[in-house]
Chains A and B, each alone.
Chain A
Amino acid sequence: MTSKTTIPVHLDINGQRHTLELEPRVTLLDALRDRLGLTGTKKGCDHGQCGACTVHVDGERVLACLTLAAQAAGRTITTIEGLAREGELHPVQAAFLEQDAFQCGYCTPGQIMSAVACIREGHAGSDEEIREYMAGNLCRCGAYPHIVAAVRQAALEAAS
């Protein structure tokens, strides 16, 4: 599989601008992890089924594994590395710690990125709604009850 050619791709990630030479087929996920060393975004299924690669593009949660890096050029990208402000954890990160909302931690960056957006969208109004709107993030350890508790806590904090 030889590359046709590479193209320059400008990416705005966590407030920093990066310019990469990429094959057009490179996904945003592979660009983040393999080219920029931003390995907080995880590769789970690589087919849009698990949510481990969830990032924000223009403030909305999307799957980095099904987004071409070239397609994301010109958009504002936020990854788990860009969530904390000046050493302060994002409230959702803090809630995941407080509620012990993980076991192995592999799905956690995706869960947190998804939860931040879920709360912002107004889809964290009840446990039932949280479960529905967090359904795109699988946790093989089955930490779901604590994840729901963390999202609920962060949603309440955001509302107060």
Chain B
Amino acid sequence: MRDFSYLRATSVDAARQAAALPGAMLLAGGTTLIDLAKCGVAEPDTLVDITHLKGLDRIEIDERGAIIGALARMGHVADHDDIKSRFPAISEALWQAASAQIRNMATIGGNLMQRTRCPYFRDPSNFSACNKRVSGSGCSAIGGVTRGHAVLGTSDACIAMYPGDLATVLVAFDATVRLGDRHIRVDDFFLLPGTTPDREHAIEPGEMITAIEIPSSAAAHRSTYLKVRDRQSYEFAAASAAVGLELESDGRTIRDLRVALGGVATKPWRARAVEAALKGKVLEPEAVRAASLLAVEGAVDHGANHYKIELAPRVVARAILKMGETA
């Protein structure tokens, strides 16, 4: 790991100013950044440590929704009683992510800034071509080993999968990222790779995530996060689904449905076509399975990741049907 200067921020404004300088980066839990610095992917000149700032780890919940401070740690949010009862999918996505140790370190703001696990991205000494690391250098993944790569939202420049769980839930429930006074929808915060895969987030130099905000809804209250993976725990998703469901008073007609996919796309992937196909319909297995196929509309595989196109709709259907069984 290349050496860097260490600066401990004393206020949000000081952190933002220090991190706006060229070569400077914010350091929160460090679970991505220190790892990538060891891989030679991140080469900061200065790290601005924000973990000692006070007051940014609060979790506030009222009838309008939840506001989670950027420095709240994943494990604490996962175990928070009101999050568990009113936003169960958030708790489920968090406790199924990473390990207990990493969840004690990793912050909610840092989680949104988590980078891809694409092995070519993570290995600059063996693979010099990576458009995410160096714009215009090419993509080593295309034509390489692609089992873990995205099938949705890809471009000719990049097929790296977005690996996070939490943000998949956040896009399903119209959450907002607070960058100080600027608020932006989580769905807009994550960028498609297009021709600029090196730009992943709609955040500017001098900006810092201060909180996320999740509005209350009946669908968020009746929600789940289903994560399917190669091993049972401590693994990224092969495919996952965040689902929220609200039924009419008849107990069988779908009033509101939220669906988002993880583990299959280049960003957290809202599946609006599935939602639209099922809203107003009676919840029954055949209709749910048929509609869930719309989740992978436009999917493009690169060989070894073809299985995700079959797997993702099944995960979506299972999650919706599971929610239908709860009353």
Contacts and interface: CB of A to CB of B under 8 A. Distances in A.
B203 to A, nearest CB: 22
A135 interface: yes
A7 interface: yes
Contacts of A5: 5
Contacts of B67: none
B310 interface: no
B49 interface: yes
A25 B4 contact: yes
A75 B46 CA distance: 22
B287 interface: no
Contact of B101 (A7, A23, A63): A63
B38 A4 contact: no
Contact of B49 (A54, A70, A137): A70
A140 interface: no
B104 interface: yes
Nearest to A63: B101
Nearest to A132: B233
Nearest to B105: A62
Contacts of B1: 25
Interface stretch (B27-35, B206-214, B316-324): B27-35
Contact of B234 (A2, A71, A136): A136
Contact of B104 (A2, A51, A62): A62
B171 to A, nearest CB: 26
Interface in B221-249: 232-234
Nearest to A133: B100
Among A1, A3, A133, the one with the most B-chain Cβ atoms within 10 Å of its Cβ is A133
Interface class of chain B by DSSP: mixed
A46 B34 CA distance: 10
Nearest to A66: B34
A48 to B, nearest CB: 6
B30 A67 contact: yes
A61 B100 CA distance: 8
Interface stretch (A34-42, A77-85, A92-100, A117-125): A117-125
Contacts of A44: none
A68 interface: yes
Contact of B98 (A131, A132, A136): A136
A123 B105 CA distance: 17
Contacts of A18: none
Interface string B1-14: 11111101000000
A108 to B, nearest CB: 16
A153 interface: no
Interface string B33-54: 0110111000000010101100
Given A63-B105, A66-B30, A117 B233 contact: no
Nearest to A46: B38
B102 interface: yes
A45 to B, nearest CB: 10
A142 to B, nearest CB: 14
B104 A61 contact: yes
Contacts of A67: 30, 34, 105
Given A62-B104, A63-B102, A74 B38 contact: no
B99 to A, nearest CB: 2
Top-4 shortest CB links A-B: A136-B99, A24-B6, A135-B233, A135-B234
22 contacts: A1-B2, A1-B3, A48-B31, A48-B102, A51-B99, A60-B75, A60-B104, A61-B100, A62-B101, A62-B105, A63-B105, A66-B31, A66-B102, A66-B105, A67-B30, A68-B47, A71-B27, A114-B100, A121-B79, A133-B100, A136-B101, A137-B99
Interface of B: 1-6, 8, 27, 29-31, 34-35, 37-39, 47, 49, 51-52, 75, 79, 95, 98-102, 104-105, 232-234
